[in-house]
Amino acid sequence: MSKSILLAEVDDNVKTLLSTLLAARHHTVETHGDGKKILDLLALQTFDLVIVGDQLSDIDGIGLIVKIRSVNSQVPIVLLSKTWRDAAVYQQLTKDFRVSLVIHRPIKAALFGAQIESLFSSAEKSIQSHVQNEESIFQTLQGNYLKVLPERFEKLEEAITLARTNPDDAVSLLEAIRLAHNLKGTASSCGFGVLGESASSLEKALDAIRENQLSQHEAAWEEIDLIANLVKSNAVALTGDPVAQVDKRAFATIESDEEMNFPVPPPEGLDLDAYEPQDNFDTYDDSAAVRVMVFSSDTMPAHKRIGNKDTGLPVQVILSQNHEDAIAKAGKLTLDAVLIDIDVTQPAPALNLARDLRSLPGYETLPVAFLSTSQQQKYIEDSTHAGASLMLEKPLQSDIFNDAIEYLVNARQGGRPRVLIVDDDNDFVKIVASALGQEGMLVRQMADPTDLLTVIQEFHPDIVLLDVTIPIVSGFDVCRMIRTAAHFQDLPILFLTGQTGLETRLAAFEAGGDDYLPKPVARIELLTRVKVRLERARMLKERSNKDILTGLLIRRAFMEQLNDMAEESKRNGLIFSLSLIDVDHFKHVNDQYGHLAGDRVLSTFGQLLKKRFRVEDFRGRWGGEEFMVAFRHIRKETAGGALQRALEELRAFEFHGDHGESFNITFSAGLVSYPDDGTDVEDLIRKADERLYIAKDSGRNQLVTSG
């Protein structure tokens, strides 16, 4: 349906572009670059939409919007903006001046068209009609394909098994890749997108084994098993009658569960008055909540669930009173943080618990905080070595607890997959969060996307689910904004929206989205697509940033994080410490005990570094037997004390040579701090290297912090 549009823009190129795009959609466009003329026209004529540029000949765009609202309170307004503005500006535009949408330049034709049409709620009836006409054809294709699907998957399973049991047989692996490729293509052609997507991931994972020569790598085959099981579950869900089974199983929409509503009081024993249950969290399943273990000898009730007002996440507090119980609960659940009550007269039990928890599989990055009545330097060094990010003073106040949980949760990288949902539909988010939470994912919602980059930097999501239609700023523009940041260019982004037109779907991909799911969302499709994207992103990140032998960051990835931390410290007047570490006499280890023993030394030392220190500290393999550790925002004295404890721990560890010989190793290290030892990253590394050589020349097996 044709609309009348008034375009207020001074740039002739922009006027020509937008007029052409809107005219092609059969809209009537009148353009002017003078604000006074725009106001006169609005007083005389009725328009369906006003598009306002940043700057006109006699007034700026926002100033014109203010004047428009003084003469016309109803006409929809779109602002064309050259820059991203503060969140307060967007909120004022939305609330006070009722701007319907802000579109950011540079303008892309497809995106602009989809954004404007979304305002007019124009459905693509011709495409929907075409889909309806083709429905009977697709049902026939689906029915025929479903009859042969079990046999095809059985052949694929046999090929994978043969390739795995015969790692030197390249033909079997190629056959498995071919069958996965065929399964992907045929399933997608028959309209089974979920099965096709998972089969595509299986094909890529198998091909990665071939390209990287990982046929004898057990972890790689375990990943294949995971994806193959996902393919099988999708195939099983589709077998049978194509109408009855496909509609009910493969594309069943997510439904809310009324039994999930329950009131939860705040836990006793801690001052948590600020944690009142909120309506926003009433339908979240506990599995979607942040799980925080509080270890204390004080009498407390069983675990409770409370809402965290600052992070936007529900928090489940799990209480424990003895070492064995804490370890057992950590093994059954997936913890996101732990607070441990430490007795300063007998600190060993609390320190040992922190170390034991961090030694559990998957808990290398578990954030830890200690509750203590003492802030002495010795206890801070002990806790830093044990992995504690915070030393909190007792008695613990509610606001401090709140800040501590937010800090710990944001500090952790790894652990449960993190999903950030940008959508202002709270009911929809509750349902999706419940489905994802039951799969072990941690879910956070943002209704207002204007502070999105800040939240991403703090929350470290593994995937973003983004609605196209959100207040003031289009989801397309939000996606483009994310992609402009170098660190987030590989972050998976899935669009979720009720707009199902072809143009909207294409615009989602053009904006930089990785995938697109229409509302209502099919539960199995949502879970499958999210899991596949998460798994592929994890594998890509591991292969590109991690050293295979030690599991630590490679030199490039370490330097990227170090430069970021240095810039952050310069901007905010913060400190950090940096250590260059060298395994002593490593050549002798290789020569006398064998290269496999040398690899075990490097691997063990890498694991020790991962399990010790804090989650916000980062570790890297600098090259050969050299390592680096960066301690975020702590003094050199604290970092040195923690490193000294790690050295003592390594000294006591017994290694075995290729022929069973026993031996021990030590390391030498140079430690520097910013800004005392330098303000440039290269200067700090050079100074750390000089101190490392001093440690070597002085007999090794020591840490040097000056000179």
Task: Note the pLDDT tens digit of each residue in 54-63.
Answer: 889 889 889 8
- Note the pLDDT of residue 268: 37
The two structure tokens encoding residue 265: 């009081």
State how far the Cα of 175 lies from the Cα of 182, in Å rounded to an integer.
11
Query: 691 pLDDT band (50/70/90 cuts)?
Result: very high
- Note the pLDDT of residue 312: 55
Query: 188 pLDDT band (50/70/90 cuts)?
Result: low
**Which comes out higher in pLDDT, residue 243 or 606?**
606
Contacts of 616 (CB under 8 A, 6+ apart): 389, 411, 632, 633
Q: Span 376-399, mean pLDDT?
A: 71
Query: 6 pLDDT band (50/70/90 cuts)?
Result: very high
Q: Span 371-377, mean pLDDT?
A: 67
Distances (CA, A) of 702 to 47, 131, 504, 582, 668: 77, 72, 62, 10, 5
Q: Span 76-103, mean pLDDT?
A: 82
Q: Span 458-474, mean pLDDT?
A: 82
DSSP-assigned letter for residue 27: -
- Note the pLDDT of residue 585: 92
Full-model pTM: 0.49
Q: Which residue has the tokens 């349906």?
A: 1
**Which comes out higher in pLDDT, residue 478 or 486?**
478
Highest mean pLDDT among 376-380, 384-388, 466-470: 466-470
SS3 277: coil
Average pLDDT for the chain: 78
State how far the Cα of 284 lies from the Cα of 573, in Å rounded to an integer.
39
For the chain, the farthest-separated pair of C-alpha atoms sits apart, in whole angstroms, at 95
Which of the residue ranges 7-21, 523-537, 689-703 would you say has the lowest mean pLDDT?
Answer: 523-537
Query: 313 pLDDT band (50/70/90 cuts)?
Result: low
Query: 125 pLDDT band (50/70/90 cuts)?
Result: very low
State how far the Cα of 655 lies from the Cα of 661, in Å rounded to an integer.
8
- Note the pLDDT of residue 226: 85
For 349, counting Cβ atoms within 10 Å of its Cβ (0-12 exposed, 13-18 middle, 19+ buried), the class is: middle
For 237, counting Cβ atoms within 10 Å of its Cβ (0-12 exposed, 13-18 middle, 19+ buried), the class is: buried
CA angle, residues 376, 378, 384, in degrees to nearest 5:
105
Is the pLDDT reported for residue 175 higher than 90?
Answer: no
Task: Note the pLDDT tens digit of each residue in 65-83.
Answer: 989 988 888 889 999 888 7
The two structure tokens encoding residue 567: 């810039």
Which of the residue ranges 14-18, 142-146, 296-300, 639-643 would you say has the lowest mean pLDDT?
Answer: 296-300
Print the SS3 string covering 463-519: EEEEECCCCCECHHHHHHHHHHCHHHCCCCEEEEECCCCHHHHHHHHHCCCCEEEEC
State how far the Cα of 551 lies from the Cα of 602, in Å rounded to an integer.
10
Q: Are 473 and 450 in contact (CB under 8 A)?
A: yes
Task: Note the pLDDT tens digit of each residue in 388-441.
Answer: 777 777 776 777 777 777 777 777 666 678 899 988 777 677 778 877 877 778
Query: 670 pLDDT band (50/70/90 cuts)?
Result: very high
Is the pLDDT reported for residue 555 higher than 60?
Answer: yes
Q: Are 503 and 130 in contact (CB under 8 A)?
A: no
Q: What are phi and psi of 609, to 5 degrees?
A: -65, -35
Whole-number percent of the chain with pLDDT over 90: 17
Q: Span 357-384, mean pLDDT?
A: 75
Task: Note the pLDDT tens digit of each residue in 326-361.
Answer: 888 888 777 888 888 887 778 888 888 888 888 887
Q: Are 230 and 198 in contact (CB under 8 A)?
A: yes
- Note the pLDDT of residue 287: 55
**Which comes out higher in pLDDT, residue 94 or 381?**
94
The 10 Å CB-count burial string (b at 16+, else e) for 265-301 is ebbeebebebbebeebbebbbbbbbbbbbbbbeeebe
For 165, counting Cβ atoms within 10 Å of its Cβ (0-12 exposed, 13-18 middle, 19+ buried), the class is: exposed
Whole-number percent of the chain with pLDDT over 70: 82
State how far the Cα of 202 lies from the Cα of 229, in Å rounded to an integer.
10
Highest mean pLDDT among 241-250, 437-446, 461-470, 525-534: 461-470
Is the pLDDT reported for residue 91 higher than 90?
Answer: no
Q: Are 558 and 628 in contact (CB under 8 A)?
A: yes
Distances (CA, A) of 215 to 163, 207, 240: 8, 10, 35
The radius of gyration of the chain's CA atoms, rounded to the nearest angstrom, is 29
Strand pairing report for 314-320 and 290-295: parallel
Query: 186 pLDDT band (50/70/90 cuts)?
Result: low
- Note the pLDDT of residue 375: 60
- Note the pLDDT of residue 244: 33
Query: 533 pLDDT band (50/70/90 cuts)?
Result: confident
SS3 576: strand
Alpha carbon 527 to chain centroid distance?
A: 16
Q: Are 67 and 35 in contact (CB under 8 A)?
A: yes
Q: Span 464-472, mean pLDDT?
A: 81
Q: Could you please report the per-residue DSSP string of 329-344? A: HHHHS--SEEEEE--T
Q: Span 124-142, mean pLDDT?
A: 44
Q: Span 598-620, mean pLDDT?
A: 88
**Which comes out higher in pLDDT, residue 674 or 433?**
674
State how far the Cα of 422 lies from the Cα of 475, in Å rounded to an integer.
9
- Note the pLDDT of residue 578: 94
- Where do the domains of the chain lie, and which CATH numbers do they carry? 4-122 (3.40.50.2300), 146-250 (1.20.120.160), 259-411 (3.40.50.2300), 418-531 (3.40.50.2300), 555-704 (3.30.70.270)
Secondary-structure percent of the chain, ordered helix, strand, coil, rounded to 5? 50, 15, 30
**Which comes out higher in pLDDT, residue 595 or 194?**
595
- Note the pLDDT of residue 38: 92
Nearest to 229 by CA among 324, 153, 286, 312: 153
Contacts of 418 (CB under 8 A, 6+ apart): 441, 442, 443, 444, 459, 460, 461, 462, 463
